[in-house]
Amino acid sequence: MADRVHLRREPAATEERGVLGLVLLFLVIATVLLARAWWTPHPARGLLVEVSGQVAAPGTYLVDPPTLAAAVEAAGGIADGVPETPLFAGDGVWVSPDGVRVVPTGQPLLVALPVDVNVNGADALAAVPGLGARLAEAIVADRDARGPFHTLDELARVSGLGGDRLDEVTPFLTVGSIGPRPPVDVNLADAVALESLPGVGPVLAQRIVDDRASRGRFATLDDLDRVSGVGPALVDKLRAHAVAGSAP
């Protein structure tokens, strides 16, 4: 009977080894999950843009941010002076001695940037981000009716093109070799010439002409305030563009 005493089990040690095994298994699983998260590939940011022409390394590049200047620089070109024009899927960039050209989405026309508002037609102007066909045609019509734009600020005379919209498109535009416009003499100018002034449309231009004819010349620009529709704010805007000179 005494020999049977030695058949006693030791359950405590067995349970301890089981708990340890579970802890080790948990650590292994956690390590695998962390490693998977670390090595999981992430999609590349940017836009694939094909750059060709006179650059050091023509080809297709992942550009981030996707701008015209960034694309030229990626291909080894000189980006100084190249505008930060946004690029979209399907755009290509061509670099030549005449400038940088881009094919906007959905338009096969190659457009040299910046676009000259005094030379280029409606198709080229319509390719400028933020303009579109309607405003491009309005620019051409205004240019034909009133003459060239001497500064980009004069584009504000085009209906629908002012404020934030004008600020958005001017980086892509130029007035070419046209020099500054001489100031308009409000005592000599006809209605068409007065319409070239910022903030002066056909109705207001005719009012100025009629007022001048009935009440005499304007001694200073401040006298324009006597014309219905002209206030101090508009007079201040005109100071850089107009003078009250010789009598008519």
Tens digits of residue pLDDT in 24-57? 655 656 555 554 444 444 444 677 777 888 888 7
Q: DSSP label at 91?
A: -
Structural domain includes residue 81:
yes
Torsion of CA 136, 142, 145, 146, to 10 degrees: -140
User: Given pLDDT bands bounded at 50, 70 and 90, which one contains residue 172?
Assistant: confident
Mean pLDDT value across residues 180-208: 88
Task: Specify the amino acid at residue 30.
Answer: A
Determine the Cα angle at 10 with ends 9 and 14, to 5°.
120
Alpha-carbon gap, residue 149 to 162, rounded angstroms = 14
Asked if residue 120 and residue 104 are part of one domain, the reply reads no
Three-state DSSP class for residue 246: coil
Asked if residue 71 and residue 105 are part of one domain, the reply reads yes
pLDDT in the model for residue 23:
57
Structural domain includes residue 4:
no
Alpha-carbon gap, residue 224 to 94, rounded angstroms = 50
pLDDT in the model for residue 80:
85
Contacts of 144 (CB under 8 A, 6+ apart): none
Containing structural domain, residue 79: 47-112
User: Given pLDDT bands bounded at 50, 70 and 90, which one contains residue 220?
Assistant: very high
Contact by Cβ (8 Å): 159, 136 = no
Phi, psi of 115 (to 5 degrees): -90, 130
pLDDT in the model for residue 7:
44
Q: Quote the mean pLDDT of the chain.
A: 78
Report pTM: 0.42
Structural domain includes residue 20:
no
Question: Distances in Å between the alpha carbon of 136 and those of 116, 130, 139, 247?
Answer: 12, 10, 5, 38
pLDDT in the model for residue 91:
79
Q: Give the gyration radius of the chain's Cα atoms.
A: 35
Strands 115-116 and 111-113 turn out to be: unpaired
Structural domain includes residue 146:
yes
Could you tell me the CATH number of the domain that includes residue 148?
1.10.150.310
Greater pLDDT, 4 or 237: 237
Could you tell me the CATH number of the domain that includes residue 197?
1.10.150.320
Q: DSSP label at 85?
A: -
Asked if residue 192 and residue 158 are part of one domain, the reply reads no
Number of domains in the chain: 3
Closest by CA position to 143, among listed 200, 189, 196: 196
- Locate 198 and state its tokens: 């910022």
